[in-house]
């Protein structure tokens, strides 16, 4: 089972998006684990298959990609994040995990 990790400054603003992503996964019959954490707690969540950063954390993407070179690290699209589009963000995560990007 794949684990998707969403990270933001405090771990709070991504919680609603996580719930929407879980709903989308359930409706598509996809089994994934999705968690939201503060940036400082990322390492405590290992293992994970992708790190998705809230738009406010985009500045940390390259540092995290260097720290976790074997997994995709991406910043969630600001529009998708603002609209809390769980289906679209889930789709992005699955696509990146498939590519191994």
Mapping DSSP to helix (H, G, I), strand (E, B) and coil, where does residue 49 land? coil
- 2, containing H or E segment: strand 2-8
Of the residues 8, 42, 89, 96, only one is catalytic, namely: 8
Residue 12 CA from chain centroid, whole number = 13
Active site residue 72: no
Instruction: Write out the catalytic residue numbers.
Output: 8
């Amino acid at each position: 089972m794949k684990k998707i990790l969403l990270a933001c400054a405090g771990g709070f603003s991504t919680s609603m998006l996580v719930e929407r992503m879980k709903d989308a996964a359930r409706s598509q019959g996809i089994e994934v684990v999705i968690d939201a954490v503060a940036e400082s707690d990322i390492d405590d969540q290992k293992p994970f298959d992708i790190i998705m950063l809230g738009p406010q954390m985009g500045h940390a993407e390259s540092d995290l990609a260097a720290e976790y070179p074997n997994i995709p690290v991406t910043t969630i699209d600001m529009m998708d994040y603002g609209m809390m589009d769980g289906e679209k963000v889930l789709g992005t995560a699955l696509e990146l995990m498939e590519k191994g990007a």
